[in-house]
Amino acid sequence: MDKIVILDYGSQYNEILLTKLRELGVYSLIVPKTTTASKIKELKDVKGVILSGGPSIIGEEVKNAPDSKLFDEEILNLNVPVLGICYGMELLAHHFGAKVTSVKDREFDKHVIRLSNSCPLFFNLRDEIVVYITKSDRISDIPSSVQIVAESSSLGPVAFAKDYVYGVMRHPEVDGSEEGRELLSNFIDICGCKKEWSLENFLENKINEIKEEVKDEKVILGLSGGIDSTVAALILHKAIGDNLTCLFVETGLHRVNEASVILNRFREKSKIQLDVADEGELFLNRLKGVVDPEEKRKVIVDTFIEVFKKYAKKIGDFKYLGQGTLYTDIKESKWGGKSKVISGTAEDIGFKIIEPIKELTKAEVRELGRKLGLDEAFIKRQPFPFPGLAIRIIGEVTLLKLEILREANEILSQEVRKNHLETELYQYFCVLTNIDSTGVEGNNKIYYHTIAIRAVTSNNGINADFYKFDMNFLERVSRRIVNEVRGVNRVVYDITAKPPSTIEYQ
């Protein structure tokens, strides 16, 4: 299948870029920035290369290591069009001998740019458009062999072309950046890519692939209740029917009624065999005395694997373990980032692994979920971390603290639902802090817990902003929590964005 390869220089928008190219019908994939031209060739049918944006500053890189190569220049000899975006553009400009000057104050802002529509990248685009550009390094002294094809009065040259190599300072993949989709579509045309990718084709091919691999063997899949494992289960079920069994591990770290809602919905919506490992007590015992957040995660993962192994042995003879690993999870774990908690552990359990959605991004899994008949409320459900409420309790996890947190969280959820705010919020939850503070109850002073409310807006969890609730809403939630939840006498609202804070507290 024809494809476009994205070299990853660390831009937070790379997954959006990947999804946009695929939406335009072209299979694309992200590879590490160190990938050489010969490795790209091995990927077969590569019709174009994109050098992505990224946080590095060319000037500093050159100063620190003047002799090191910033990219494999042989990529320009692959005889396929190359597009550099933002940092990728600067890399190419530097390679062609232009001057790249650092600007310390990096702001992502709107700029008006004028385009030369003789450049095929801008074919059918308006002459003047408004785009988002990171005010980063400036490009000047561009050699005459390189054609400047877009300029802005505030930034100077913002795009260039040299034969089949293009550089644009803007991020065409970012929503709200005018004509970004058209620019990507033009690049696809320049590459001469056949548009062979669609989720329908993907599904059909994946089902055949699984049938061929698994044959009559049995597969077990850990169902978490989230969209990834659910979509993975639905695809596997289409391929192998009753040879698939799902196992839900009740860790006791879920929110009010969460486990039963997950199980009932799954049983209603599918005919997939489902077993439940009810092991809340075991998880709580293992978490006794554990305070460090990473240690909590490790205890939960280890216990999960132990429980999974035990039940899998009990309920059948499984050769394969199905997992809802996403493209991002694989990319992050292979390239040294934070991996999805249970992926990478499958071999330890002694199964062969099967990952039906490992080529897909989160946005694509949601879209596929819709095509497979999942309802919108489920698809838009807020993310819930694998370690569950354990990382929303600062300090040791106890049954009492879990109950306090569940009750407080349920009040927040009820009020959010009542005020129809679910669709505006990416995530909202309570955290049981380890601050005990003074309160009054009758004539007595009491030292009770403090609940923090966290509610954020975000597109993908990478950046997030705190939600500006109406004060009356916060007052009502606070009043209800201190009145209705025994053990809480103070409620605070978290008003920090990510970055610098993370969404979760641990």
- The catalytic residues are 86, 171, 173
Closest CA relative to residue 430, chosen from 483, 473, 380, 493: 493
Q: How far is the CB of 386 from ligand XMP (least distance, A)?
A: 3
Q: How far is the CB of 345 from ligand XMP (least distance, A)?
A: 13
Is residue 425 involved in binding ligand XMP (CB under 6 A)?
A: no
CB neighbour list of residue 167: distance below 8 Å, 6 or more residues apart: 83, 84, 85, 88, 89, 90, 92, 93, 159, 160, 161
Q: For ligand XMP, which is the closer residue by CB, 166 or 426? A: 426
Strands annotated E in 181-319: 219-222, 244-250, 273-278
> Among 10, 192, 241, 383, which residue interacts with ligand XMP (rule: CB under 6 A)?
383
The Cα 330–Cα 339 span in angstroms is 7
Q: For ligand XMP, which is the closer residue by CB, 33 or 340? A: 340
Cβ atoms < 10 Å from Cβ of 412: 21
Tell which phi-psi region holds residue 127, choosing left (phi > 0), alpha (psi between -120 and 50) or beta.
alpha
Stretch that binds ligand XMP, among 314-322, 441-449, 469-477, 495-503 (CB under 6 A): 495-503
CB neighbour list of residue 70: distance below 8 Å, 6 or more residues apart: 58, 61, 62, 91, 94, 95
Q: For ligand XMP, which is the closer residue by CB, 62 or 341? A: 341
Q: For ligand XMP, which is the closer residue by CB, 50 or 233? A: 233
Closest CA relative to residue 160, chosen from 111, 77, 97: 97
Is residue 461 involved in binding ligand XMP (CB under 6 A)?
A: yes
Is residue 386 involved in binding ligand XMP (CB under 6 A)?
A: yes
* Tokens at 475, concatenated: 């007052």
**Which 387-416 residues touch ligand XMP, going by CB under 6 A?**
387
Cβ atoms < 10 Å from Cβ of 70: 19
**Which 147-176 residues touch ligand XMP, going by CB under 6 A?**
none
Is residue 297 involved in binding ligand XMP (CB under 6 A)?
A: yes
Stretch that binds ligand XMP, among 124-132, 145-153, 204-212, 497-505 (CB under 6 A): 497-505
> Among 167, 385, 390, 469, which residue interacts with ligand XMP (rule: CB under 6 A)?
385
Q: How far is the CB of 456 from ligand XMP (least distance, A)?
A: 9
Q: How far is the CB of 415 from ligand XMP (least distance, A)?
A: 20
- For 261-281, letters b (16+ CB in 10 Å) and e give ebbebbeeebebbbbebebbe
C-alpha 41: how far from its chain's center? 28
Is residue 12 involved in binding ligand XMP (CB under 6 A)?
A: no
Stretch that binds ligand XMP, among 73-81, 173-181, 250-258, 383-391 (CB under 6 A): 383-391
Task: State the DSSP H helix or E strand holding residue 131, giving kind and residue range, or none if neither.
Answer: strand 128-135
| Residues belonging to the chain | 506
Q: How far is the CB of 491 from ligand XMP (least distance, A)?
A: 21
Q: How far is the CB of 490 from ligand XMP (least distance, A)?
A: 23
* Tokens at 155, concatenated: 């930034």
Q: Binding string, 334-373, against ligand XMP, x = CB under 6 A?
A: -------x--------------------------------
* Tokens at 392, concatenated: 């929303």
> Which residues form the interface with ligand XMP (CB under 6 A)?
297, 341, 383, 385-387, 427, 461, 498, 502-504
